[in-house]
Amino acid sequence: MSGMKTTMLLAALTALFMALGYTLGGSGGAIIALLVAAGMNLFTFWNADKIVLRMHDAREVDAQSAPDFYNLVRDLAQRAGLPMPRVYIIDQDAPNAFATGRNPDNAAVAATTGLLAVLSRDEVAGVMAHELGHVKNRDTLIMTMVATIAGAISMLANFGLFFRGGERDGHGSMIASLMAVIVAPFAAMIVQMAISRTREYGADRAGAEISGNPHALASALAKIAGRAEAIPNPVAERNPAAAQLYIVPTHVSELFSTHPATEKRIAALQEIAAKMGAIPAPPRASALSPIPAPPRRRSALDPHGR
């Protein structure tokens, strides 16, 4: 059902692009806009993981530097039938996590120290299973396709605004063109958000199946949501687009969020748990072992790294 809905929304986005090109009168500008947008998004697709991880100052860990966390991800990847992704830690108080990479063979998952500090082991497993669900569902590829078409719509709308609006080919035609260049990008944004929200529900379901514990993922979402709103996230504040990466977005109203409301996701997970016959486990205080802080860089003024 999720895949069918995504396909229908992608078809709607493509139809919107074609309709805008037709309204503006000519296929030449539409083709150019699509090629430019595709080129930009292709570059982002191949380099998105490097860009995102560098943006967050993420540091890669392994079985020696973070054994509990690394082995947890490894076990979940094996359960999901996925290649072992690269594993990263982000030194940030705001609790969150994300996945990146153009396909399962080039995937990476990351979690903040804030998330690892506040969640139990089962809850961390639920969160990382959700991120591996994104990898398994190839959501990065889907969202790149969406971004390509939405970017082309925006570029074509800008082209029409500057080069079509001034033509004197009839008052009605000019009004239609202006309406198209104003409405089309907004409509594309709505469809893009709808696809992203569908993907989040799909990743929640996949995470519940991979971890076998939908109650733990629901509990983690409840814990993360409040803290993500209260604790500043410098990366999201500098780059608002980064919010769509996280398992829970920060400081975004539900109307314009790329994620469904957390309460709705928790309710959906509870339904999944009921179908799976999963029984809520008693609260456990067990958590992952602390992640060592990275060594401080030495400077010319402080050669000992103090």
Residues annotated as catalytic (active site), given as ranges: 131
Which residue carries 């990275």 as its tokens?
A: 294
Cα(153)–Cα(192) distance, integer angstroms: 12
**Cα-to-chain-centroid distance, residue 145:** 14
- For strand 86-90 and strand 108-112, is the pairing parallel, antiparallel, or unpaired? parallel
Name the token pair of 247: 């398992």
Binding-site residue ranges for Zn(2+): 130, 134, 200
CB 128 within 8 A of CB 148: no
Q: For every residue of the chain, which 3-state class applies, written as one string?
A: CHHHHHHHHHHHHHHHHHHHHHHCCCCHHHHHHHHHHHHHHHHHHHHHHHHHHHHCCCEEECCCCCHHHHHHHHHHHHHHCCCCCEEEEECCCCCCEEEECCCHHHCEEEEEHHHHHHCCHHHHHHHHHHHHHHHHCCHHHHHHHHHHHHHHHHHHHHHHHHHCCCCCCCHHHHHHHHHHHHHHHHHHHHHHHHHHHHHHHHHHHHHHHHHCCHHHHHHHHHHHHHHHHHCCCHHHHHCHHHHHHCCCCCCCCCCCCCCCCHHHHHHHHHHHHHHHCCCCCCCCCCCCCCCCCCCCCCCCCCCCCC
